[in-house]
């Protein structure tokens, strides 16, 4: 189920990237139903499912090594350094890379590993409740000075101009330093970073209670959680306009962002719970398992999506951002995703790991002899 969920999250992230032209939608927006539906379902949520599963994977690795008497924290930190380096290289092509965010936030998992479940739960709430963002909002409210435009607007605006007009080498040179600023300011200023950290920690908690391994024994809790999430999310959507209108005018934007992040976290929980419901109760596992192989090579496919699709939309390539339209981009994402699933299925008939997964695993262990081919019998 976990690989199927990871594959589903990757599919959602890919659809978002396609309909926003790998960020160039924001260079010249064209609001419409495709944008609204895709972002309602996957926008701000697909990457949070990845964050949840990242925390779960961390727990699985640590517990397996602990069973062998190995403290894996140092090796996992090295694994994150490798992911950070890979993410940086990827960001030279696609500035919206998420691997850097996951790797740096992942270092907090190493620090939190010795803590009890109770403390991890409390710390996760600090981030999921957006306390850093609320403190910032209250600070500026007390300061009494109106906020200007978001800080990320200027650097992201420059990024979009480069994506649309720069040549390949000019763009990679720009992304090597100047192009990095907008992304980090965006993640910090919008509070999205706090959601990632919070769900990292929730992934660890789910691993510790063996949630997915013993999912049948948690069926009652899942039903309760589903009812609570639906009720709270519905209530939040109903009262959000009032909450936003009553927030202090000078910092209203910050409070709107906080409420938006609450919606994204609750919606992510709803998606995961509905996925479990479809998988186990409605017996749709054969359909959902179509994404299993894609989930097993999510790193390779994530990188491959940028290598293939960014030149289609950016100025140095076909510049489709000017003409394709979101309806066509959505349909194309379906075709491309089917091709990725087929590629993954065929790949795993011969190999044990995806190519980038194998390289990451080998460099983590600092070994050359980790097999990648399936043994012939």
Q: What is 282-319 written as a DSSP string?
A: S--HHHHGGGHHHHHTHHHHHHHHHHHHHHHHSTTTT-
What is the 8-class DSSP label of residue 369? -
How many domains, the chain?
1
Domain extent, residue 277, equals 2-351
Evaluate if residue 192 carries a pLDDT over 80.
yes
Specify if 272 maps to a domain: yes
The CA angle 101-107-109, to the nearest 5 degrees, is 110
Q: What is the mean pLDDT of the chain?
A: 92
Q: What is the mean pLDDT of residues 158-177?
A: 96
Report the candidate in 268, 330, 299, 355 with the shortest Cα–Cα distance to residue 42.
Answer: 268
Helix axes 131-143, 192-208, angle to 10 degrees: 150
Beta bridge partners of 351: 373
Tens digit of each residue's pLDDT (9 = 90 or more) over 45-99: 999 999 999 999 999 999 999 999 988 999 999 999 999 999 999 999 999 999 9
Tens digit of each residue's pLDDT (9 = 90 or more) over 307-345: 999 999 999 999 999 999 999 999 999 999 999 999 999
Specify if 194 maps to a domain: yes
Q: Which of 92-96, 180-184, 296-300, 367-371 has the lowest mean pLDDT?
A: 367-371
Q: How far apart are CA 45 and CA 56, in angstroms?
A: 17
Q: What is the mean pLDDT of residues 221-243?
A: 91
Cβ(14)–Cβ(337) under 8 Å? yes
Cβ(199)–Cβ(265) under 8 Å? yes
Evaluate if residue 168 carries a pLDDT over 70.
yes
Residue with more model confidence, 165 or 250: 165
When computed from its CA atoms, the radius of gyration of the chain, rounded to whole angstroms, is 21
- The two tokens of residue 209 are 């209670």
pLDDT at residue 54, rounded to an integer: 94
Residue with more model confidence, 26 or 143: 26
Evaluate if residue 377 carries a pLDDT over 60.
no
Specify if 89 maps to a domain: yes
Specify if 360 maps to a domain: no
Specify if 285 maps to a domain: yes
Specify if 298 maps to a domain: yes
What is the 8-class DSSP label of residue 249? G
CA distances from 111 to 59, 66, 107, 199, 306 (A): 13, 16, 7, 15, 32
Evaluate if residue 246 carries a pLDDT over 90.
no
Of 160-174, 248-262, 272-286, which has the strongest mean pLDDT? 160-174
- Cβ–Cβ contacts within 10 Å for residue 10, how many? 24
Q: What is the mean pLDDT of residues 91-120?
A: 95
Percent of the chain whose predicted confidence (pLDDT) is above 70: 99
Specify if 111 maps to a domain: yes
Specify if 373 maps to a domain: no
Cβ(203)–Cβ(59) under 8 Å? yes
Sign of torsion, CA 274 2 119 123?
negative
């Amino acid at each position: 189920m976990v690989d199927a969920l990871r594959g589903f999250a990757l599919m959602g992230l890919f659809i978002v990237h396609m309909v926003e032209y790998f960020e160039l939608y924001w260079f010249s927006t064209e609001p419409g139903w495709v944008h609204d539906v895709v972002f309602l379902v996957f926008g701000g949520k697909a990457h949070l499912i990845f964050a949840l599963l990242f925390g779960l994977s961390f727990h699985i690795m640590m517990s397996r090594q602990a069973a062998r008497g190995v403290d894996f924290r140092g090796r996992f930190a090295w694994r994150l350094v490798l992911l950070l380096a890979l993410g940086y290289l990827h960001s030279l092509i696609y500035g919206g890379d998420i691997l850097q965010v996951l790797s740096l936030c992942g270092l907090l998992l190493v620090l939190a590993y010795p803590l009890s479940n109770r403390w991890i739960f409390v710390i996760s709430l600090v981030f999921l409740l957006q306390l850093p963002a609320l403190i910032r909002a209250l600070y500026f409210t007390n300061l009494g000075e109106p906020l200007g435009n978001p800080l990320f607007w200027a650097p992201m605006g420059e990024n979009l101009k480069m994506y649309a007009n720069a040549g390949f080498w000019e763009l990679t040179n720009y992304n090597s330093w100047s192009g990095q600023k907008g992304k980090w300011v965006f993640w910090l200023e919008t509070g999205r970073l706090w959601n990632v950290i919070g769900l990292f920690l929730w992934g660890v908690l789910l691993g510790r209670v063996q949630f997915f391994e013993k999912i049948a024994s948690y069926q009652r809790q899942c039903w309760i959680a589903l009812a609570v999430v639906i009720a709270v999310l519905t209530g939040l959507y109903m009262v959000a306009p009032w909450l936003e209108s009553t927030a202090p005018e000078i910092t209203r934007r910050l409070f709107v962002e906080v409420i938006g992040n609450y919606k994204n976290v609750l919606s992510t929980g709803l998606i995961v719970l509905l996925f479990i419901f479809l998988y186990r109760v409605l017996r749709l596992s054969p359909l959902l398992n179509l994404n299993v192989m894609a989930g097993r090579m999510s790193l390779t496919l994530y990188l491959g999506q940028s290598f293939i699709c960014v030149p289609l939309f950016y100025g140095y390539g076909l510049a489709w951002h000017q003409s394709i339209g979101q309806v066509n981009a959505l349909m194309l994402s379906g075709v491309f995703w089917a091709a990725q699933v087929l590629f993954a299925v065929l790949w795993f008939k011969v190999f044990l790991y995806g190519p980038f997964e194998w390289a990451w695993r080998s460099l983590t262990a600092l070994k050359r002899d980790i097999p990648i081919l399936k043994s012939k019998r």
